[in-house]
Amino acid sequence: MKKHDDLNKLLDFMEEHIDLAHIAKAEQLQYDALNFKELPHLPLTIRTTPDGYEQIPMDIAFDNPELMLYNEILWSTMHSSYNSVRMKDDCALMVRANFGIGVIPSMFGCKISVFNNNMPWVTHIELEDAVKQCKNGVPNLSKGLGQRVIDTYEYYRDRLSTYPKCSKAIHLSQPDLQGPYDILHLIIGAEAFYIVHDDPDLTKEMLDVIIQTYVAYRKLLTPHLDATYTDASFVHGFLAGGQVLFKCDTASANLSVDMCKEYECDFIEKALTQFRDGGLGSIHCCGDIRPEVLDLFTATGIQSMNYGNPEKHDISKYYPKHFDSKTCIVGWGFNMFYDEYIHAIKKSGISTGMTLMAKAHNVNEGMGILRRHRGEK
């Protein structure tokens, strides 16, 4: 069977089974949690492997927007729109242009490669070349993957347009754009850990160009993405506060607290001011987030935060900081099973300002978890 026939079958299934009333209710529940309103229950998204369809290897789907859309409906970052429709969990449906973490680095000349079924790999450039690129200011936003991302979103919108329910319910969400220091690391590799000591001024000059590029490109993408809310955005399987999500991942996790403020948070805060009309933005961060770093993140003015490693954090100690700053925790527990964390949530008395995710072995188990969570028989 040709793969485009599989996409037709999948879209036909989605069109038949999407419950627009339920989707609207789920999205409102996410939005209310984001704004610390009273809730019937914390929103819960179930994460389980999609069955019945075979995903396409990344090295094949990477160059084919039709196959990329097919994959994204089955599994996108942290959730499956296909499974959410089947289980009727509390997840908003969404897809992204999945070109990995190298979208912005590719504009600076970094080569993007795909090996087998792995996410795209970014090959850094020499520091001297990167400095020359940054001296020229913001690069051409169509370079590298820049235009391909936009073309992919245009294809998605056109392809979904013949399916009224899909077109209305499946949101086009932000691609992986990372955060300022992680982009620097992707561009120049390990030099990013030396340059902050050897030449702080040059580091900041480069980061300034990087964050200008981020803002310019994210604004260029805005007309191609879905904006149900003016102060929240669909991304990575959850509703996040503001218009934009910054990812503070592997590289920035290695910075000291002072360096994290100087080379990450100060630049994120600068960028957030460019999205003030849309409620600023949010942060995703991996690793063991130190309390002092969390304070830096919330001080930037973000509306929500996603923990890449929730299992490393004591929610009873971290949630009060979020409650006091009214910074919602989104997608908590995405890499954990429901029973691994729900007792701590209940013990801490958390009833709003948080959205949940949980792993399940299959759809039937997921539906059972949802009934328990909602207090249904």
Distance between CA atoms of residues 25 and 27, nearest Å: 6
Q: What is the pLDDT of residue 1?
A: 36
Terminal-residue alpha carbon distance, the chain: 41
Task: Report pLDDT digits (tens) over 173-201.
Answer: 999 999 999 999 999 999 999 999 999 99
Q: 3-state class of 122 per DSSP?
A: strand
pLDDT at 79 over 70: yes
Q: What is the pLDDT of residue 327?
A: 96
Task: Report pLDDT digits (tens) over 27-73.
Answer: 999 999 999 999 999 999 999 999 989 999 999 999 999 999 999 99
Q: What is the pLDDT of residue 189?
A: 97
Percent of the chain residues topping a pLDDT of 90? 88
Task: Quote the strand ranges of the chain, DSSP E.
Answer: 44-47, 94-96, 111-113, 121-123, 171-173, 232-235, 238-241, 244-248, 281-285, 304-307, 328-332, 354-359
Reported as a pLDDT band with limits 50, 70 and 90, residue 2 is very low
> Are 293 and 308 spatial neighbours (Cβ–Cβ below 8 Å)?
no
Mean pLDDT of the chain: 94
Reported as a pLDDT band with limits 50, 70 and 90, residue 278 is low
The mean per-residue pLDDT over the stretch 250-254 comes to: 85
Distance between CA atoms of residues 294 and 300, nearest Å: 10
Q: At 23, give phi and psi (nearest 5°).
A: -60, -45
The mean per-residue pLDDT over the stretch 4-18 comes to: 94
Least confident of 80-84, 160-164, 299-303, 339-343: 299-303
The letter for the amino acid at 287 is: G
pTM (two decimals): 0.95
pLDDT at 261 over 80: yes
Task: Report pLDDT digits (tens) over 282-315.
Answer: 999 988 999 999 999 999 889 999 999 999 999 9
Mapping DSSP onto H, E and C, the string for 260-297 reads: HHHHHHHHHHHHHHHHHHHCCEEEEECCCCCHHHHHHH
Reported as a pLDDT band with limits 50, 70 and 90, residue 280 is confident
> Are 305 and 282 spatial neighbours (Cβ–Cβ below 8 Å)?
yes
pLDDT at 89 over 90: yes
The mean per-residue pLDDT over the stretch 260-269 comes to: 95
Structural domain boundaries, residue 343:
3-374
Domain count, the chain: 1
CATH of the domain at 187: 3.20.20.210
Please give the full DSSP string across 240-262, using - where no structure is assigned: EESSEEEEE-TTGGGS-HHHHII
pLDDT at 229 over 70: yes
Q: What is the pLDDT of residue 228?
A: 84
pLDDT at 263 over 80: yes
Q: What is the pLDDT of residue 4?
A: 67
Instruction: Give the H or E element holding residue 166.
Output: helix 164-169
Q: What is the pLDDT of residue 171?
A: 97
- Please calculate the CA angle 99-359-227 and round it to the nearest 5 degrees: 45
Q: Is the dihedral of CA 36, 42, 48, 53 positive or negative?
A: negative
Q: What is the pLDDT of residue 279?
A: 64
pLDDT at 208 over 60: yes
The mean per-residue pLDDT over the stretch 74-82 comes to: 93
Higher pLDDT, 12 or 226: 12
